């Protein structure tokens, strides 16, 4: 009887025109084999029985990965801030200063007097003009008309974003004085009182002849100071 293997061989060799040969007797030296019935060419070949397909083995899913336990935080403090700080520190804003200066032109000089309390009293303004007139007469000049005073107030604005400190005040007041000296054709500067020249930049006024006198209120209260003030004014003529 032909085995399933013989039928498979026949099915493979028949399309190629080859014949499957079967030995009728045991060949010398060959291993004994069970007798087989030769299968003739052209004989129907039984279809090989189909074996049920084996189901693929079910693959077990991998075990879940359990993260390692983290130690509990022992501190309730917030994490360090990751904000990047600027290497360039903001410049400190200088404190604002406040003052007022009253200026007049008399006797060829520019006269400055502090007026922090408001308007300069009339008697103090009259004393300034009288000293200027006496100096003009001594110099041989003609009598000048009384020009209205000019007032300089600091701060000149209320914008806190701009510098209102001493340096800005000194630069502004010095610029004001230099313009007055140039525009009024003054050849001397008279400072009355300690605060009159407090915020002036002295290096900018090196070429200007300057005289410091007591405040008008002090000379009115102590008339003897007027003599010293007059002698100081005479130094401007040399």
Q: What are phi and psi of 21, to 5 degrees?
A: -100, 140
Confidence (pTM): 0.59
Do residues 149 and 184 lie in contact, with contact meaning Cβ atoms separated by under 8 Å? no
> CA–CA distance from 178 to each of 54, 65, 124, 153 (Å)?
111, 85, 24, 16
Strand 99-106, strand 109-114: pairing: antiparallel
Q: What is the pLDDT along the chain (238 residues), one digit of tens a residue?
A: 557 777 777 778 777 777 766 667 776 777 766 666 555 555 444 444 555 555 655 666 666 666 565 554 444 455 555 544 545 555 566 788 999 999 999 988 999 999 976 789 999 999 999 999 998 888 776 666 678 899 999 988 878 778 889 999 999 999 999 999 999 999 999 999 999 999 999 999 999 999 999 999 999 999 999 999 999 999 887 6
Q: How far apart are CA 55 and CA 185, in angstroms?
A: 118
Strand 150-154, strand 99-106: pairing: antiparallel
Pick left, alpha or beta for residue 107 (phi over 0 → left; psi -120 to 50 → alpha; otherwise beta): left
Q: How far is CA 122 from the centre of its chain?
A: 52
């Amino acid at each position: 009887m032909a085995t399933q293997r013989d039928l498979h061989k026949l099915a493979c060799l028949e399309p190629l025109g080859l014949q499957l040969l079967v030995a009728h007797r045991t060949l010398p030296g060959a291993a004994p084999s069970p007798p087989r019935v030769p299968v003739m060419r052209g004989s129907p070949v039984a279809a090989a029985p189909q074996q049920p397909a084996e189901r693929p083995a079910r693959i077990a899913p991998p075990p879940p990965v359990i993260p390692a336990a983290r130690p509990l935080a022992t501190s309730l403090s917030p994490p360090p801030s990751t904000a990047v700080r600027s290497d360039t520190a903001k410049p400190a804003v200088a404190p604002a200063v406040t003052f007022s200066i009253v200026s007049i032109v008399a006797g060829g000089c520019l006269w400055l007097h502090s007026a922090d309390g408001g308007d300069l009293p009339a008697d103090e303004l009259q004393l300034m003009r009288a000293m200027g007139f006496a100096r003009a007469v001594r110099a041989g000049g003609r009598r000048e008309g009384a020009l209205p005073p000019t007032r300089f107030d600091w701060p000149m604005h209320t914008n806190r974003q701009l510098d209102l400190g001493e340096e800005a005040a000194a630069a502004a007041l010095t610029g004001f004085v230099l313009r007055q000296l140039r525009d009024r054709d003054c050849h001397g500067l008279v400072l009355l009182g300690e605060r009159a020249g407090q915020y002036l930049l002295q290096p900018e006024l090196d070429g200007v002849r300057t005289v410091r006198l007591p405040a008008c209120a002090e000379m009115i209260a102590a008339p003897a100071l007027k003599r010293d003030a007059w002698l100081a004014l005479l130094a401007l003529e040399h």
